[in-house]
Amino acid sequence: MTLDAALLARLRAPPLGFGGAPLGNLFRAVSDADATALVAYAYDAGVRYFDTAAHYGHGRSERRIGDALRARPRDDYLLSTKVGRLLEPRADAPRDQHGFVDTLPFVQRYDYGAKGVRRSLEDSLQRFGLARVDLVYVHDIDRDTHGDAHAQRLADALEGGLPALAALKAEGRIGGYGLGVNDVAICLQVLGLADLDVILLAGRYTLADQSALPALLPECERRGVAIVLGGPFNSGILATGARPADGSMPYFNYGLAPPKIVERVAAIEQVCVEFDVPLPAAALQFPDAHPAIATVIPGARSVAEFDANLRLAQVAIPREFWSTLRERRLVDPCAPLPGIEATR
């Protein structure tokens, strides 16, 4: 299975895509007015792919993105969300949940079965105030998320949720479907058991973490599965550097960066200094060199952050910078680099 060629071409079109997690108040709050203004600003700047999830602020991100896009011509942009979590209203729901602050008053319940996935998508459309989305990702169907319940939830997705999404695609109600995860192993496992159109992979093919390179990206190339690369800054360290200017500890993949990652990023920063290349520019441009990557979707919580991402994605980086990273073994020798062929 592959995405429709026209949809894939639109997914690949510049500039960057828009990751909606920050608009769910990830780690800190953003006002409704600022959030919707940011999405409108991104659209006016040429962004035509927006991704979000019910998980992000327990529906807050979906509401904000819908409010900002609802008046735009629906065929002018691509929109994706994720299924597998149902939101249930509860008056005593915690204000802060799962890393999101000031969430809407709901609690989450996992449901990867056919009925749950269909309801999850319908609920998302209600929050968007829109009649359709283009891509749907089964969200966080990995062992780290589910622990002892993983086997049953994966079976629910394989036997119920994914076939339901295949039917929705066949009916023309969505353009494609796949997984939205930050785990390489679950992608390979599911690809061995089911057909997918697309995978939203967060933080596993970056300057700091190329764990998707040996097996997953070649398999996706072989099968024509598009990769949307989320988390290009690995939750922070590739934007802030190994020693953030505010004196805080660097973050990597939603937690404090381990010493080996800090050491590696510090060494990459040294090469950045030698060639006068901003670290976040290299982080944004590195993944796009791999043919399996359809687009990169950094998050932003302000117009300033969004403008910085666009500017950094267009910084001219000399070939010698990339070749020096390879020579110093700071990137996988098999990773294709911008303007430089991979070593086989």
What's the one-letter identity of residue 113?
G
Backbone torsions φ then ψ of 277, nearest 5 degrees: -115, 125
User: Which distant-in-sequence residues (6+ apart) come within 8 Å of 337 by Cβ?
Assistant: 286, 289, 322, 323, 325, 326, 331
Q: Compute how many other C-beta atoms are within 10 angstroms of the C-beta atom of residue 50.
A: 26
Q: Give catalytic residue positions.
A: 51, 56, 82
User: Which distant-in-sequence residues (6+ apart) come within 8 Å of 342 by Cβ?
Assistant: 333, 334, 335, 336
